[in-house]
Structure 1
């Protein structure tokens, strides 16, 4: 198999790329390949050009998945769906799970100490001090928890105000990490302060203990590991996987909630310990690895390159980045083991006491971070694979080291074969310029985001589609607004397609057919252009705009239906419609229909409203007979519990409309009731009646955009009311000032004589008032006279 580094197209690639279930023939598929730093023709290993092997780096499951995970796995899912459902590749998708838990000692500690005793507080204080010493060097480790807030704000004022650390040009992940440490220590300090001041004795002890342990967990974990790690039975893998099994299940459920397809195969690190040891042993036999005195094994980069291989092909500019390399080595980076080369990395780690370990030729140990994926992917997919994917932060050192050690494992002196042909790296999800990650603790979990309804699976996926798969995405109000607008536009289009009137045009206008073909061609080109979903989303939006601007009465119903089916196939292709497939016969997507239990009451209600509204708006006005005829329509007599709110709205509307039969102002009152049932009664139940000229109202669910518009309208009304109240209060205040008569206003001890109008002539000392002062007093007198007259008039009303 050759390396795919040129822009040519083999017959196999042409065969694979030409399959187009949406009509026509596709240009060759090209993908952005991190190996070549270019868009490369996609040429599968399979001679028939159909089967595709794909390995994806999965999560380390020690906590709930966050929106940064969603960005990676949803974007991966979108590409996988496009390859499977649009290009019709037979994709074998394998993903790993790193399932080693580090919370055993903490959970054991909590189990032994269910309440917060002085001994627990003492342990937490020592852990807090150790955490400060290791992670916040500008603070005294002996700093009392009660003084933490004031001291950290002084010591790290620059970082906390958004500035950069010394030596950094601008704030980024380094500063985010410091903020994370500050936040972690802050939580512990607050918990310790409460415990020391006796808060644990006030209220429920169990509740306090739960809150205390939640807040000190991240400082106690490393402390207990250093203190008691050696006591753990390293051969009892159940200890290390007990909690991870829980979070693995939660991760998979979160992915399913986001409509991410399950992997075809899932590998777990703890199930491959022996295979990984064998994998490392073969690398050593191939003379690309060496054993150190402590029983660890390192990859020999110099030997690898001398054999004709290249190292750090994905990110050669990061090869000398010692900081990244150290992060990739984890705790092993601090070992004093002498390596042959400064950039050599660990294949196998001699286990520290308390760490999980497996037998090997060099004694008990555990896999290096990078070797896990190499061994598992090779075990599942063999010597070569088509695609390897993960977040962009994995390019170096993780994927570069994977690539090197795997090619060292499969090394053949006669030919150098590339282990992976295409690396696909998903861009970060960012907030305030810093990537969202578990290690930085600047994340919102998927579960929280969905439960709080910050996002829906569809709205989140739309934002990722609009941002593309390899570019970084920063969540901004503008991006969220763009996503919401796109979703509402498609929902409105599908609602129109469900209306029978949409398929009743005369057919004299055939322009929509040409618009549809142009959209299909554009979508095809975009998908072949490295899965350019941004372009596809724009093409779909433009097609809907052209339909919206057309004269519906003249369109060909076949063209309208074909357009609706094409838009449906694309949203299904992108996973925006639950489990619906691209060849589904149903038009539209879920969530745009009203509840089934509501329909028997909503449709009669809408019909009654349409009838009386149309009559009330006519020149002739509505008659009592028209009202009587309209309200004859009723809903079912049997009402389920779920349908009661809708039945009640129908009953109330019929009753109120019926009562207007003898009213002289029936038309005006009918229209007011029609507006109320639309804008309040049904809206509060999540239903909206969309009025249309010369057509029945469209019965549809309320959208987020409608809710936002109503909230903004209500906010404006409240603001207007507040301003009115403020004006009225100011007017009352001014009016109250007029209560004092102008004839009495100056009769105070400040003066000793007054004229007939009550104006002062002499001050308290008997001195005559000066002309300039008298002039000013006259102005004040006249102002008060006017105010008093207004007050008198108001009192008389």
Structure 2
């Protein structure tokens, strides 16, 4: 993922450098330098940005431009600052956002960033009425992409010529397995036989597997998550290796497919270490085949989540010349130097010699070194030509097996800290209003700053205390989550709205429950608003109208307070609560309708209603209506049921004439295929009701049929009839909560039945024990004499039994007597 730390190597025309730095610094600087300068000038910048914003606001006011009282949490100032666009007219807003690094499917961590960004973008566009130009980049070349694409190419090539698992293939995979162990699971012997892997890894990494930390770490985090990922990866390979070494009976082709699937992740880096430098890097299709695939999948995922497309999309591969020009200008200004291999490094010493301390940036430098080792893998190359260990590459000389672009220093490719600079300035110029990114998409864990007016830093998504990331493989992809119906685009967006945009988000059961409750509450509200009866009448009570005005004011305040969506969601919920608890008979229907339209406009504006525009005049959101093809059958069925149910519940009871009158309605003669299930339910219901006309228990039986058609027949088709006192039943889709409630009810009933069966079995078991007569129970070779009741008097040796033993036997005899009498009684039935 393009790091938002990369983004501005732009002219610093509005930060403190323009006021306090030497003229020579009016150049395109990489982001790390901007961070260093920020550290040096942080107080000056904060004061300047705040005063500059105030000056811009004053200028806008003097020019007659009326700006909303919007304040945004700005990572540049670490405070909320008034939002004042660069545009003198106060309308146009330029926004540059870090997009994905496209080498794998997008996961829920990406959804967190892009959905949250989309929410703010919609609020600015639809609520504050700004004309937003939203530009997003696609990182389609970096070290991870090159490595992944190259590995996949080599793997496919290897499989194509090794379609069966031969001894040579096994030997290659064993070497790959050993190399993977050596690099990633150092507590294990690389020569460990695959068959012993599971036992030994559980022993060596017992602490980590039980949730503890690695030696030297205070608590478990990303390092431990990565170790668990490696353990799982090797486990798959070890299992299939053991199986291959034992027996390969069965279909060789099927076994080969399973073998390669499970061994792939250990085989990929090994094949790359052998042949990575030998591929034809001038064949860019090796790399673009991967990136195009995942870019397309990313865009589909975003559209499935109802995220608006960018106004413009930029790709790193399309800006090679611009990036090279950026780097060349830095070299000309003596802040960069060229090594013999054609790489270009930023010169930290030259920067410091110009009077700008860099020492305080060292924590970032150390972290970047670690990140490089983890992220670049085999691509990282140690060089003795760097003048300082802290210097970093602006331009990398392309090595064998890596794609390249032409530059003044030969074939090469962008470094980490420059590509966004070229793309952002090319599309939006030397200044822009907003830059956004996410901690989830850069991996060093530190906060860097950007040289823009407003930086919006989206909080990341975490799982069990560890950040969700591709490198940790601790993620659920967006398409998996949607396909499994773990989430819907609406339910996921609701969770993010409830949590705010800049704070970290950990999805917990409590948060999911809160989101479901909020969605169901709004669902029920819209269903009531769809009912014409709720919007009719002539009552003139103004209390709810005042509640609506107060809610509007509260939402405006929340949105102006740095897009405080949790506050907005709470306000919507509170207004609905007030409606639900109000006496509907005295509510002014105009106020009710106004509330329905206002809540609708908000959920539309927040992106909770698909592509429906914020100013749509239709009340409610999608999902609360039943299928169109079902309506010709559902509404007559509901009406028929209402009539029958009301008559059956009356004191007079239902008459045969009432039954005949209720079921006589003419229905459509032609039924399309998709409507047949609904037509069948209606037909069956009408037929069963008709058969009860002459029944003495017609009322009771009809009520049972009404319950069944509601709770089973229609429910199984996803339709629910919500009965209401003195009003027609609401015809509505089944909700998630309804399904859960029914499942819980069925589970309780099943548990109750199991307990009953257990009690019955126990009773039968006890009853069976009584089959033996108490008169015969002791007549065994353990005793030699008995009295008239069958109680023993002497043991097998002829000795008289002690009184204590006789007393105990008498108690057993009496229990058996009762049991036997019960058994005899059961036989007589």
TM-score band, normalised by shorter chain: over 0.9
1:595 to 623, 627, 640: 627
- Shift of residue 477, structure 1, vs aligned partner: 1.1
Total equivalences in the alignment: 773
Q: Deviations over 1:87-122 (max 9, x none)?
A: 111111111112243322222222333333332222
8 A contact 1:9–1:28 mirrored in 2: no
1:531-680, aligned counterparts within 5 Å? 531-680=563-712
- Shift of residue 683, structure 1, vs aligned partner: 0.1
Aligned to 1:78: 119
8 A contact 2:71–2:560 mirrored in 1: yes
- Shift of residue 390, structure 1, vs aligned partner: 1.3
Aligned to 2:41: none
Tell me, in whole angstroms, the C-alpha distance in 2 between the residues paired with 1:286 and 1:252. Answer: 39
Aligned to 2:272: 225
Q: For structure 1, which segment, 326-335 or 188-197, has the greater mean C-alpha deviation from structure 2 after superposition?
A: 326-335
| Unpaired stretches in structure 2, ≥5 consecutive residues | 1-12, 16-47, 142-148
Tell me, in whole angstroms, the C-alpha distance in 2 between the residues paired with 1:321 and 1:541. Answer: 44
Aligned to 1:6: 50
**TM-score relative to the length of structure 1:** 0.93
Judged with a 3 Å threshold, the aligned counterparts in structure 2 of structure 1 residues 396 and 41 are, in CA distance, closer, same or farther, namely farther
Q: Secondary structure at the match of 1:370?
A: coil
How well do the aligned residues superpose, as a CA RMSD in angstroms?
Answer: 2.3
Tell me, in whole angstroms, the C-alpha distance in 2 between the residues paired with 1:441 and 1:421. Answer: 35
1:75-114, aligned counterparts within 5 Å? 75-100=116-141, 101-102=149-150, 103-114=152-163
8 A contact 1:14–1:28 mirrored in 2: no
Judged with a 3 Å threshold, the aligned counterparts in structure 2 of structure 1 residues 547 and 762 are, in CA distance, closer, same or farther, namely same
- Shift of residue 327, structure 1, vs aligned partner: 5.7
Judged with a 3 Å threshold, the aligned counterparts in structure 2 of structure 1 residues 681 and 396 are, in CA distance, closer, same or farther, namely closer
Report whether the alignment pairs 1:256 with 2:303: yes
1:292 to 326, 335, 339: 339
Tell me, in whole angstroms, the C-alpha distance in 2 between the residues paired with 1:13 and 1:699. Answer: 53
1:434-583, aligned counterparts within 5 Å? 434-583=466-615
2:256 to 194, 201, 209: 209
Judged with a 3 Å threshold, the aligned counterparts in structure 2 of structure 1 residues 726 and 556 are, in CA distance, closer, same or farther, namely same
Q: Secondary structure at the match of 2:674?
A: coil
Q: Deviations over 1:9-67 (max 9, x none)?
A: 5486589999xxxxxx9852111112222112222222222211111111111221111
Judged with a 3 Å threshold, the aligned counterparts in structure 2 of structure 1 residues 662 and 394 are, in CA distance, closer, same or farther, namely closer
Tell me, in whole angstroms, the C-alpha distance in 2 between the residues paired with 1:309 and 1:654. Answer: 86
Q: Deviations over 1:171-222 (max 9, x none)?
A: 11111011111111112212222222233x413x333333222222222222
Report whether the alignment pairs 1:177 with 2:188: no
Tell me, in whole angstroms, the C-alpha distance in 2 between the residues paired with 1:582 and 1:104. Answer: 46
- Shift of residue 8, structure 1, vs aligned partner: 7.5
Tell me, in whole angstroms, the C-alpha distance in 1 between the residues paired with 2:724 and 2:359. Answer: 62
8 A contact 1:328–1:397 mirrored in 2: no
- Shift of residue 361, structure 1, vs aligned partner: 2.2
Judged with a 3 Å threshold, the aligned counterparts in structure 2 of structure 1 residues 379 and 304 are, in CA distance, closer, same or farther, namely farther
Judged with a 3 Å threshold, the aligned counterparts in structure 2 of structure 1 residues 111 and 370 are, in CA distance, closer, same or farther, namely farther
1:732 to 764, 776, 781: 764
Report whether the alignment pairs 1:136 with 2:185: yes
Q: For structure 1, which segment, 210-219 or 337-346, has the greater mean C-alpha deviation from structure 2 after superposition?
A: 337-346
Aligned to 1:21: none
Q: Deviations over 1:125-172 (max 9, x none)?
A: 211111111111111111121111111111111111100011111111
- Shift of residue 309, structure 1, vs aligned partner: 6.2
Judged with a 3 Å threshold, the aligned counterparts in structure 2 of structure 1 residues 336 and 534 are, in CA distance, closer, same or farther, namely same
| Unpaired stretches in structure 1, ≥5 consecutive residues | 19-24, 404-418
Q: Deviations over 1:263-303 (max 9, x none)?
A: 11111122222222222111111222222343322223443
Judged with a 3 Å threshold, the aligned counterparts in structure 2 of structure 1 residues 234 and 692 are, in CA distance, closer, same or farther, namely same
Tell me, in whole angstroms, the C-alpha distance in 2 between the residues paired with 1:570 and 1:503. Answer: 20
8 A contact 1:635–1:647 mirrored in 2: no
Report whether the alignment pairs 1:154 with 2:203: yes
Q: For structure 1, which segment, 384-393 or 3-12, has the greater mean C-alpha deviation from structure 2 after superposition?
A: 3-12
Q: Which of structures 1 and 2 has the larger relative contact order (alpha carbons within 8 angstroms, sep 6+)?
A: 2
Judged with a 3 Å threshold, the aligned counterparts in structure 2 of structure 1 residues 498 and 305 are, in CA distance, closer, same or farther, namely farther
8 A contact 1:324–1:396 mirrored in 2: no
1:63 to 96, 101, 104: 104
Q: Deviations over 1:692-741 (max 9, x none)?
A: 01000000000000000000000000000000000000100111110000
Q: Secondary structure at the match of 1:283?
A: helix
Tell me, in whole angstroms, the C-alpha distance in 1 between the residues paired with 2:445 and 2:320. Answer: 19
Judged with a 3 Å threshold, the aligned counterparts in structure 2 of structure 1 residues 303 and 694 are, in CA distance, closer, same or farther, namely farther
Report whether the alignment pairs 1:683 with 2:731: no
Judged with a 3 Å threshold, the aligned counterparts in structure 2 of structure 1 residues 712 and 339 are, in CA distance, closer, same or farther, namely same
**TM-score relative to the length of structure 2:** 0.89
8 A contact 1:649–1:682 mirrored in 2: yes
Q: Deviations over 1:636-681 (max 9, x none)?
A: 1110000000000000000111111111111111111000000000
2:803 to 747, 771, 790: 771
Q: Deviations over 1:609-656 (max 9, x none)?
A: 000101111111111111110011242111000000000000000011
Judged with a 3 Å threshold, the aligned counterparts in structure 2 of structure 1 residues 84 and 502 are, in CA distance, closer, same or farther, namely same
8 A contact 2:436–2:455 mirrored in 1: yes
Tell me, in whole angstroms, the C-alpha distance in 2 between the residues paired with 1:450 and 1:241. Answer: 27
Q: For structure 1, which segment, 630-639 or 538-547, has the greater mean C-alpha deviation from structure 2 after superposition?
A: 630-639
Judged with a 3 Å threshold, the aligned counterparts in structure 2 of structure 1 residues 157 and 653 are, in CA distance, closer, same or farther, namely same
2:319 to 272, 285, 295: 272
8 A contact 2:336–2:345 mirrored in 1: yes
